[in-house]
A and B are shown apart, each in its own frame.
Chain A
Amino acid sequence: MLRGCVVLDCTGRLGWLAGRLLADLGADVNRFEADGADVSSAEWHALNVNKRLVRADLSVPGGRRMLEQLVASADILIATPEAGSEEAFDHGRLSRINPRLIVVAITPFGLTGPKADWLASDIEIMAASGAMSLAGEPGGAPLRVSAPQSYAWAGGQAAVGALTALAARWRTGRGQLVDVSAQAAVITALSHAPTFVDISGITPTRAGAYMTGRSVTGANYRVFWPCRDGFINFILYGGAAGRRTNEQLVAWMRERGVELGPLATIDWARFDPTRASQVEVDAMEVPIGRFIGSVTKREFLEGAHQREMLGYPVSNAADIATDPQLEARGFWQDVPGPDGRSERHCGAFVVVDGARPPLVRPADEPGRRPRKAPDA
C-alpha cells in the first residue's frame, strides 16, 4: 500500500519496529547501520527484516553527507536522537534539503519537557508509564514483561504518526516533525486504568495471578491455573459468554469423570460473579483446578474452541510456533538468513485484499549507496 514511499530508518533499538511496520505496508525502507555494527542478533533480524541495509556511520560528517543525499528523495526519516545527534536529524535543517520530508523523532520521553534528556531503557520507560505498577504480585516488586515492550509501543505509535503526517502532506504539500514519546506510547497499554483515578479516586494496582475488583464481596478469582505442561488462563465470567463457558466447562468435566463438587448444583444462568463470596469462589475453584491440572495446553486450546468457551493457554514461543491457526493464515514467512539458511519470521500484521503482503527482503540485504558516496 505504501509503494514508492521511501523511508530512511536511522533508529536505535527504540525505533526498529516503526520501520518494520512501514516496510510491511509496502514502503521502501533503508536501514542505516555503522560499518562493522553487529547485525546478527535475532532481535535485530526480526525487526529489521524487509528493509534494505545501508552501511554508513551517521556520527561522522561523511555518513551524514550520505544521509543528506538520500534525504533529497525520501518521504520519511525515522530517528531516535540522543544527546549529540540531535543536529543530524534536525527537521529544520533537513527540510531545507527536502521540504516534503517527514522526520519522526522517537525518544523515551519526547523532544520537549523536563525529562526530555533523561536516560531510559525499557525498564525505566515501563516504570515511567505506570505499566510496571500494574504487573506483579500485590505488595511485591513491580514487574516488566521480560521481553522489552516499550520499544514496540513507541515504534507502533511512531508508525501511526508517520502516516498521519503523510496524509497531512497531501493537504499541505509539506513534511513536518513528528515527536513521539515512548513513555506516553506505553500508557496506551494501560487501557482505561487512568479513568479510575480520574473519576473514582481509585488507583489500580497489580493483582498477580488473580483478578480482583470484580466482586462486591472482595473475592479474588484465579486467572492462571497450572495444567499438565504449563498454565491456562481461565476466568469465571458472568454474562452470556460466561454462562456458556461455565456450562461447557462443567459438561467437559463431566465427560472426563471429574468430581464436580459445588459446580454440580450451580445454575449458571443465575450465577453472578460479582456477588460470590471468597469461600464460595474457593470451593468452586477446587474441582476446576483438578480438571485443568489434568489437561495439556493444546488440549485446552482445541477443546475450548470446539465448545466456544472463553479461555486460552499461556503460550510460549514453542506453542506459538506450532499453532495451526497461524499456519493456516500464512503468518510465518521464510526469508534467507545470514548463513544462507532460511529464517522463519513473523509476517506482515495485516492481510490486505485477501493476501498477506510478503516479506521481500532479508534482514541484511545490502542496499545501494547513493552515487558519489563520500568516504564515511
Chain B
Amino acid sequence: MSAGVLALDGVKIVEFGGYAAGPHVGKMLANFGATVVHVESMSRPDGFRMQYPPYKDGKPGINSGGCFTYFNDSKYGVTVDLKNPEGIRLAKRLADWGDIVIENMRPGVIARLGLGYDELRQSNPDLIMLSTCNMGQTGPRADTPGFGSQLSALAGACGLTGEKDGPPMLLYGPYIDFIASTLGATAVLAALERRQRTGKGAYLDVSQYECGLLFLAGPLLQYHRSGKVAERAKNDDPDAAPHGAYACRDEAWIALSCWSDEEFIRLCCATGSENLAKDARLASLEGRKADATRIHEAISTWARDRDAHESAQLLQSAGVHAHAVNTVADLFTDPQLVSRRLWRRRRHPVIGDQAYCFPAFDLAETPGDITAAGPVLGADNERVFRDFLGLSETEFNAVRAKGALD
C-alpha cells in the first residue's frame, strides 16, 4: 500500500456487477486511494473470470484469468449470494457502510433484488449510486441486453473506421464500455464533491450509448447543422496531407502527418524527397491532397526498409509529427510508458506477477498507485465483513452458515 496521503483515502465504494463498465470505475478510484469492495458470488462470479481469456498457463480457472484481475486491482473481493435473503441483508449492510454504490446490471434488476437506490437510501440517505448500462435506465429500449463490442457499432464508432468503400471495422473489445467508465468516474467524483459541500447524495444514470456519442459530438453536430453524414476515410484527415500509416520493415508501420506547408518541406528534406519539396504544386494542402498518390509512394519507398521506431525519432528530430504504430507488445517496452511507470507488476497468488495498467494521469502531491493484484474469489470476506462492517465472529459464522457468502 502507498505510504503517502491518497486523494480518495476514506472513500468507500461497493460494486455490484461485473465485466468492464462498472468495475473499471472502481479500479480507477481505487488507484487513488478509495476502498473498493467488489461483490460477486460463488455461483455467479464476475463474467470476466471464466468467459474471457487469457488464463495462467492457458488453463481456465476461477482464479487464473488475467482479464478479471486486470480490471479489479487494488480492490477487496467478497462473495455474497444475492439470491439468499441473508445474503441480501448482508449486501444492504455493505451498502450502508459505503459512500458509493456502483452497479451495471440490466435496468431494474438491482431494484428487484431489494438493492435499488430508493431502498438503499432509506438507511444510507447521503448514498451516491451509479447505475451504468447499455441504454440507460429509461426509454423504449432500456431493457436491451448487449455487449460493448456491439454497442460501439450502434454509437457510430465502427462505421467511421475503415476504407471509404469497404466494410466497417471492429474496435478491439468493448470499446464503448471504457468511455462510459471514464465518464462515469467523473460523475461519481462530481457527486462526491456535491456531497462534501451539501451533504446530499445522488443517483447517477449513465447510458453507455450516450457516453459513446460524446466522443463523436462534432460529427453529430455537423449532421444536425447541415445534414452532412460523416464517413469513414481510412487514415485521411481533411486538414492535413500527408496523413497516414506507412509500412516499414519487419511488418511494422509508422504514422505521420503534416499540418503545414513548412512541415511538409521538413518531411521531404528528412526523407530525401527534396524534389517534392521544390514542387510548387505540392506547396499547399489542396495541392498535396490532389497529388496524394505520388506523395504516398515517395514516403512508402523511403519507409519500407527502415525501422519504424528509428524513423519516427528521425522525423521528430526534423520537426515532423510521427510515431511508430506500436503493437500491443511494444507498449511494454515503449520508453515513454516505461519512464512514466504505466505498467506496475503485482503478485497474484495464482497468476503470479501480472502487469497492471495505471490510469493515464497522476497527481503531483497525492500520487496514486496499484496497491494490490486483483482478488481471488471471496478473498476478503473476513476482512470486509469483520473489520469493515464490524461483524462479530459469531455473527460472521452465522451468516456464513446460512449460505450468505456462497
| A residues in contact (CB < 8 Å) with B | 1-5, 17, 20-22, 25-26, 41-43, 45-47, 91, 104, 109-110, 112-116, 118-137, 141-147, 149, 152-154, 156-161, 163-168, 170-172, 174, 176-185, 187-200, 202-211, 223-224, 226, 230-231, 233, 235, 239, 241, 301, 305, 308, 310-318, 320-321, 324-326, 328-329, 331, 337, 343-347, 349-354
Question: In the complex, what residues of A have CB within 8 A of residue B334's CB?
Answer: 128
Contact between chains at B8 and A134 (CB < 8 Å): no
Q: In the complex where A164-B7, A194-B328 touch, is A136 in contact with B169 (Cβ < 8 A)?
A: yes
CB distance from A347 to the nearest CB of B (A): 8
**A-B residue pairs, 6 tightest by C-beta:** A191-B173, A161-B361, A163-B189, A43-B218, A168-B7, A127-B255
* Contact residues of B between 311 and 340, Cβ < 8 Å to A: 316, 319-332, 334-337, 339-340
Which of A191, A200, A205, A230 is within 8 Å of B53, CB to CB?
A200
CB distance from B365 to the nearest CB of A (A): 4
Contact between chains at A190 and B193 (CB < 8 Å): no
CB distance from A122 to the nearest CB of B (A): 8
Which of A132, A163, A235, A320 is within 8 Å of B156, CB to CB?
A320
Complex Cα–Cα for A299 and B62 (A): 40
Question: Which of chain B's residues has its CB closest to A105's CB?
Answer: B361
Which of B147, B327, B331, B363 is within 8 Å of A187, CB to CB?
B331
Q: In the complex where A124-B322, A194-B328 touch, is A110 in contact with B167 (Cβ < 8 A)?
A: no
The contact sample of 14 A-B pairs, CB cut-off 8 A, is A1-B193, A113-B339, A123-B244, A127-B253, A128-B323, A145-B171, A152-B215, A167-B11, A167-B196, A177-B363, A184-B342, A199-B56, A202-B54, A350-B183
B277 proximal to A (CB < 8 A): no
Which of B58, B207, B236, B328 is within 8 Å of A190, CB to CB?
B328
Contact between chains at A130 and B330 (CB < 8 Å): yes
Q: In the complex where A179-B362, A345-B221 touch, is A113 in contact with B340 (Cβ < 8 A)?
A: yes
Complex Cα–Cα for A180 and B253 (A): 26
B82 proximal to A (CB < 8 A): no
Contact between chains at B171 and A135 (CB < 8 Å): yes
Contact between chains at A343 and B217 (CB < 8 Å): no
Dominant SS at the A interface?
mixed
Contact between chains at B323 and A127 (CB < 8 Å): yes
Number of interface residues of B (CB under 8 A): 152
Complex Cα–Cα for A152 and B67 (A): 25
Segment among B36-44, B157-165, B389-397 that sits at the interface with chain A: B157-165
Contact between chains at A349 and B214 (CB < 8 Å): yes
Contact between chains at A349 and B183 (CB < 8 Å): yes
CB distance from B12 to the nearest CB of A (A): 13
B150 proximal to A (CB < 8 A): yes
Question: In the complex, what residues of A have CB within 8 A of residue B159's CB?
Answer: 230-231, 314-316
Complex Cα–Cα for A218 and B136 (A): 36
Complex Cα–Cα for A316 and B205 (A): 25
Question: In the complex, what residues of A have CB within 8 A of residue B323's CB?
Answer: 118, 120, 124-125, 127-128
Contact between chains at A345 and B217 (CB < 8 Å): yes
Complex Cα–Cα for A231 and B178 (A): 24
Question: In the complex, what residues of B have CB within 8 A of residue A160's CB?
Answer: 28, 182, 185-186, 189, 359, 361
Contact between chains at B157 and A145 (CB < 8 Å): yes
Contact between chains at A349 and B363 (CB < 8 Å): no
Contact between chains at A310 and B146 (CB < 8 Å): yes
Complex Cα–Cα for A190 and B135 (A): 22
